[in-house]
Amino acid sequence: MRTDTRARRDVRWLRSKGGETGAESRFLGMQRHKKEKLMLQNRKGFTLLELIVVIVVAGILAGIAIPSFNAVKTKAKESAAVQEAKAFAKEVTALAAFTQASDAADFTDEADADSAGTYAGGNYTATNGLAVAITISGDVATAADSVN
C-alpha cells in the first residue's frame, strides 16, 4: 500500500513538471512490476513440480548410496573375520612359545576353547560365519589376509 501512495505522489510530480503520458505509463508500469515482485517474494510453500524434483533427486542419491553401503558392510565383516583369525593364530603361537613346544598344531584345541570362533581343518571360522585359512609351520601359526 505504501508503494501505491508513493506512485501517486511521483505521478503528480511528473504532471507538475509537464511530464508526458508515455513517461507516466512507463513509470506506472515499473511500479506495478515492483508490486508484483513483492507479491512473489511473499509466496509461501512449494509447487508440486519442486516437490517431485526433490523426491527424484533423493531417489537417485539413495540408489547410489545403498549399494555402496552394502559393499562397505561386507568389507567390514571380512576384515573382522581376518582380525579374529590373526588373534587366534597369535594365541596358538604364544601357547607354543610359552611351553617351548616345537609344533603349534598341538595347541589349536586350547586356543579354540578360548576364542570366540572355531578352528577345524586348517580354517578358522569367525563369529560372523566367515572362514579364514590358518597356516601352521613349526611353532608359528599365521592367518591369511583374506577370507576363503
pLDDT score, position 3? 54
Pair 33, 57 in one domain: no
pLDDT score, position 54? 96
- CA triplet 58, 61, 67: central angle to 5 degrees? 135
pTM higher than 0.75 for the full model?
no
Q: Looking at the domain assignment, is residue 148 inside a domain?
A: no
pLDDT score, position 39? 67
Pair 76, 115 in one domain: yes
Q: pLDDT tens digits, residue range 87-115?
A: 888 888 888 888 877 777 777 777 777 77
Pair 74, 134 in one domain: yes
Pair 9, 3: CB distance under 8 Å: no
Task: Flag residues of the chain having pLDDT under 50.
Answer: 1
pLDDT score, position 73? 93
